[in-house]
Amino acid sequence: MRDLDRREFLKYSADVAGRAVAGFAALNATMLYPSGRLRRKHRPIAGQGDGGYGKLRKAGPELALPEGFSYHVFGVEGLFMSDGYPTPGRHDGMCAFPLPNGNIRLLRNHEVENNPAPDAAIGDPAVAYDPGAGGGVTALDIDPATRELIRDFVVLNGTWRNCSGGPTPWGSWLSCEEGFFGPETGFADYHGYVFEVPATRETCEWTEPLIGMGRFVHEAVAVDPPSGIIYQTEDFLDIRRSAGFERGGFYRFLPNKPYRDGEIGDLRAGGRLQMLGVRNQPRYDTATRQVAGRTMPVRWIDIEEPNPLGGPDDHSAVFDEGFSRGGARFTRLEGCWYDDGRVYFVATDGGDEELGQVWQFRATGPDDGELTLIFESRNRRVLKKPDNVCVSPNGVIVMCEDADERRQYIRGLTQDGKIFDIASSEMNHLELAGVTFSPDSQTMFCNTLGDRDRKRPGMTFAIWGPWERGAV
């Protein structure tokens, strides 16, 4: 990346961090109502004037939004992109970056899972990591004034089930494979890695997997700018669903050549992978019986074999090693985001009612930190199964639900622990994902994964309106 580009990205990262000065310390007082009933006195809902935007209204065939908000659609599955390839489906994790020319660059994951096939790659097979794998990342250039698509193209291909990921402070996207397959199942190479895509990449290029970050069922990542440490979530759910094997770990990667003080490191140089454990409580289970606001000291456990090369039956090898040595168990970890010295991540099926938990990690030293539950849902009308997350320009945690309901929601969590609706899908049972905000904070972008069985294509949305009326 040229120096000019680097300065633009670093300035953007600093501006975003500075807008959320309070973190979520106030959520230590969050009250979890003791039953599934919504008691009016303790109802954790933010209405208009209290951070929320009011009732959602149908804004078009695809979305319902608060009054005064609008949207439009682009990047639709199956339509040909600027590079001549059809837009792949299963639109998932995404982030927005500023380009030096003033445009917005969206980098968008495609959670395509497929059996090995010689023609599976979504772009040029000559530069595919594995030509038999159908996942990857596409780039979309957006005019910030009109919010119209300028061009789109493949930037990473030959990967498998690119679910979520996360942005880096140095202007790249870390795309995560949510799978664990390899040559024993017919693929040309191993899968279960993180791949780095520079936000300014202009063509599809072969990309080396970041082996040091571990081979496991990756979900999302978040980078701590001062230290260069990268935090990671793990989601087992879809690997052994029939066995009810819904667990995962929370990890950190300490690069040998980290980003620090504005200098770009090299994640390919390897590093140390560690799993979070709760101090003095080995193999702690966070799934149930948790108390909002209680802070637990943590420790970090080295993973001696971050790159196990077995087949699907060994997909839990990294977790099993860390857990056997005292690591903590979470229930289906999904989205993860860094903001103002804290990392927020969600356990989609966590909690006594299995409706979702929101966790906060804060480092208190090089090897010390605190883990705090800041919200747990007890009623599906409040929050059901949060998945992709980001933090808004004003410090609200914004969450996409993966609830398998007729209407899927994007919801916000205020710093005083209240939930409010931002958007919902008007298309039956279609999951919203990839929520992110433009560099100027005026536009929220998100995706719907799509559903081929229901003949509903994946697509991307730009949403705008009077954000100043609420907490976002």
Contact 380, 423 (CB under 8 A): no
CA–CA separation, 453 vs 144, rounded Å? 34
Confidence at residue 260, expressed as pLDDT on a 0 to 100 scale = 81
Given a cut of 70, the residues of the chain with pLDDT beneath it are: 1-43, 237-246
Confidence at residue 330, expressed as pLDDT on a 0 to 100 scale = 96
Q: What are phi and psi of 29, to 5 degrees?
A: -95, 10
Burial of 469 per CB tally in 10 Å (0-12, 13-18, 19+): middle
Confidence at residue 26, expressed as pLDDT on a 0 to 100 scale = 40
Query: Cα–chain-centroid distance for residue 157?
Result: 19
Interacting residues of 177 by C-beta distance below 8 A, sequence separation 6+? 135, 159, 160, 161, 162, 163, 191, 192, 193, 194, 195, 218
Contact 317, 306 (CB under 8 A): no
Q: What are phi and psi of 138, to 5 degrees?
A: -115, 150
Confidence at residue 43, expressed as pLDDT on a 0 to 100 scale = 61
Pairing assessment for the beta strands 230-234 and 295-302 based on DSSP bridges: unpaired
Confidence at residue 240, expressed as pLDDT on a 0 to 100 scale = 43
Confidence at residue 466, expressed as pLDDT on a 0 to 100 scale = 98
Query: What pTM was computed for the model?
Result: 0.92
Burial of 263 per CB tally in 10 Å (0-12, 13-18, 19+): exposed
Q: Is the sign of the CA dihedral 356, 362, 367, 368 positive or negative?
A: negative
Contact 228, 258 (CB under 8 A): yes
What the block records as the tokens of 343 is 């990392």
Confidence at residue 403, expressed as pLDDT on a 0 to 100 scale = 86
